């Protein structure tokens, strides 16, 4: 009877104790409005809402089955990334100094990340970048409180160059269409350099750099169609990706030359029937079509599709990857302690961490242990019985498409990508 009474007391008290715990407030920042929202921001918001709810309920598969972060409930404080960079920085300060979040997970735009990183350092706030791609963050500066849990843009461009060289060995005239800011410039620079390493005789037919979210590409399409290029590289995303496909397809651009969309997976579901079969797409890592068949991915895909009636895109994968990586670091720092770990303890646990995700293992291997790496994959879009899939897939190991530690991306590519 005593054992039964004790069990009943435990059963009654544990949920109450859980409910009475002060939640850990976590700021999550992504595009909720504007041209960056549709294919990029909203899927990442969806993934954050889904993951926070599942972690609090204890329904995420191992090794993340413990509730919340180390037994503490987590509270989502959501913020829109849309607006000028100055506004993004102001909102970040408000999150930390007025709304009292303990940490921040966020940012799609490379411009946002470059501006936020030094502010996070100033405020000594753990900040985890979940999507932005520019390699400059940890190659031009060193940060203690800033982490990025997915690979930077060099991976996308080097893998794209390898795929083009393997599939189109006769192509020696390349063209680029990339947005005129850090992500676009870095993506094109790395792709062009990697192509020159793989094929020294390669020539640039044209490189177009329209303003971010300009939405009108008639002039650029005309130049591309008359450039004599044999392959087009584009790191377009968001509204620009959608607008370009809708404007280029009727003019026959995709029939004239193969197009490599480094971030193309983010728009394919919305553009179904508009983007032609055969388009070469990447998902910024082994995400979406390219994700492995593991327990976390099976759970995530099923839960996401059940809740939102659409498959998760790569930004959704990047978001859950950042959340799970932060949970892993928090709980590693908490091991052997009776109290919640400090920010400094979580930071120390995060450095050089390897952790499991729906897209496989992430290794925090670069940037003094603050920059993650994964493998990559490219494939060609194909519609089969009304469903989108990819064919002609090639996968690249993380070490094939990411520079070694302490070597800048540009130097690594110029040196032959050894």
Quickly list DSSP for 309-325.
Answer: SS---HHHHHHHHHHHH
DSSP H or E segment with residue 79: strand 74-80
CA distance 179 to 213: 8
Residues 6+ apart with CB under 8 A from 371: 137, 138, 147, 148, 152, 364, 365
Residue, of 8 and 173, whose pLDDT is higher = 173
Conformational region of residue 16, where left means phi above 0, alpha means psi within -120 to 50, and beta covers everything else:
alpha
Task: Give 20's pLDDT tier (boundaries 50, 70, 90).
Answer: low
Distance CA 273, CA 279 (A): 12
> For residue 30, which phi and psi values (nearest 5 degrees)?
-160, 170
Task: Kindly state which CATH superfamily the domain 154-289+375-414 is placed in.
Answer: Response regulator (3.40.50.2300)
- CA 111 vs CA 85, 93, 150, 188: distances in Å: 7, 16, 17, 16
Q: Where in the chain is the domain with CATH 3.40.50.2300?
A: 2-152+291-373, 154-289+375-414
- CA 108, chain centre distance (Å): 8
Q: Return d(Cα 242, Cα 248) in angstroms, integer.
A: 10
> Per-residue pLDDT tens for 343-379?
999 999 999 999 999 999 999 999 999 999 999 999 9
CA distance 320 to 51: 7
DSSP at 133:
-
**74-102: average pLDDT:** 97
Phi, psi angles (nearest 5°) of residue 63: -95, 25
Q: Which residues pair with 147 in a beta bridge?
A: 128
| Listed residue (111, 41, 113, 115) closest to 78, CA to CA | 41
**Tokens read off for 116:** 């936020």
Residue 298 CA to residue 312 CA, distance in Å, equals 12
Contact 165, 199 (CB under 8 A): yes
Q: Over the stretch 212-249, which tens digit does the pLDDT of each residue have?
A: 999 999 999 999 999 999 999 999 999 999 999 999 99
Spell out the CATH class of 2-152+291-373.
Answer: alpha beta
pLDDT in tens, 329-350: 999 999 998 899 999 999 999 9
Residue 206 in tokens: 């044209």
Beta strands in 342-414 (DSSP E): 354-357, 360-366, 371-373, 376-384, 387-396
Strand pairing of 173-177 and 203-208? parallel
| Centroid of chain to Cα 64 | 20
pLDDT in tens, 269-315: 889 889 889 999 999 999 999 999 999 999 999 999 999 999 999 99
From 318, 281, 282, select the one nearest 300 (Cα to Cα): 318
Residue 15, pLDDT score:
52
The whole-number average pLDDT for the span 380-388 is 91
Partners of 33 in the beta sheet? Answer: none
Cα angle 318-324-328, degrees, rounded to a multiple of 5 = 140
- How many Cβ atoms sit within 10 Å of the Cβ of residue 219? 10
């Amino acid at each position: 009877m005593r054992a039964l009474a004790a069990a009943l007391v435990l059963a009654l008290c544990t949920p109450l104790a859980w409910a009475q715990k002060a939640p850990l407030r976590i700021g999550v920042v992504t595009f909720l409005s504007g041209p960056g929202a549709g294919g990029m921001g909203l899927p990442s918001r969806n993934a954050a809402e889904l993951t926070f709810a599942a972690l609090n309920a204890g329904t995420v598969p191992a090794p993340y089955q413990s509730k919340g972060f180390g037994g503490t409930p987590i509270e989502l404080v959501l913020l829109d990334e849309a607006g000028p960079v100055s506004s993004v920085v102001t909102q970040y300060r408000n999150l930390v100094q007025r709304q009292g979040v303990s940490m921040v997970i966020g940012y799609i735009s490379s411009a946002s990340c470059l501006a936020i990183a030094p502010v996070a350092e100033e405020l000594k706030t753990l900040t985890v970048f979940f999507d932005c791609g520019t390699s400059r963050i940890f190659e031009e500066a060193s940060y203690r409180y800033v982490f990025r849990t997915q690979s930077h843009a060099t991976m996308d461009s080097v893998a794209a160059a390898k795929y083009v060289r393997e599939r189109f060995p006769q192509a020696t005239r390349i063209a680029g269409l990339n947005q005129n800011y850090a992500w676009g410039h870095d993506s094109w620079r790395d792709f062009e350099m990697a192509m020159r390493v793989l094929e020294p005789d390669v020539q640039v037919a044209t490189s177009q750099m329209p303003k971010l979210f300009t939405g009108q590409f008639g002039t650029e399409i005309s130049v591309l169609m008359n450039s004599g290029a044999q392959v087009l590289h584009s790191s377009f995303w968001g509204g620009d990706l959608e607008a370009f496909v809708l404007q280029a397809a009727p003019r026959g651009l995709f029939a004239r030359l193969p197009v490599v969309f480094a971030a193309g997976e983010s728009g394919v579901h919305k553009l179904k029937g508009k983007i032609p079969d055969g388009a070469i797409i990447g998902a910024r890592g082994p995400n979406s079509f390219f994700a492995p068949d593991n327990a976390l991915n099976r759970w995530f895909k099923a839960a996401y599709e059940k809740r939102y009636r659409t498959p998760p895109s790569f930004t959704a994968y990047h978001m859950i990857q950042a959340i799970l990586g932060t949970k892993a670091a928090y709980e590693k720092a908490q091991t052997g302690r009776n109290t919640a770990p400090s920010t400094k303890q979580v930071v120390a646990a995060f450095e050089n961490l390897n952790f499991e995700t729906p897209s496989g293992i992430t290794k925090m291997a670069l940037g003094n242990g603050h920059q993650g790496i994964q493998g990559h994959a490219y494939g060609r879009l194909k519609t089969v019985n009304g469903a989108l899939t990819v064919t002609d897939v090639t996968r690249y190991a993380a070490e094939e498409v990411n520079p070694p530690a302490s070597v800048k991306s540009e130097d690594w590519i110029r040196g032959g990508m050894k």
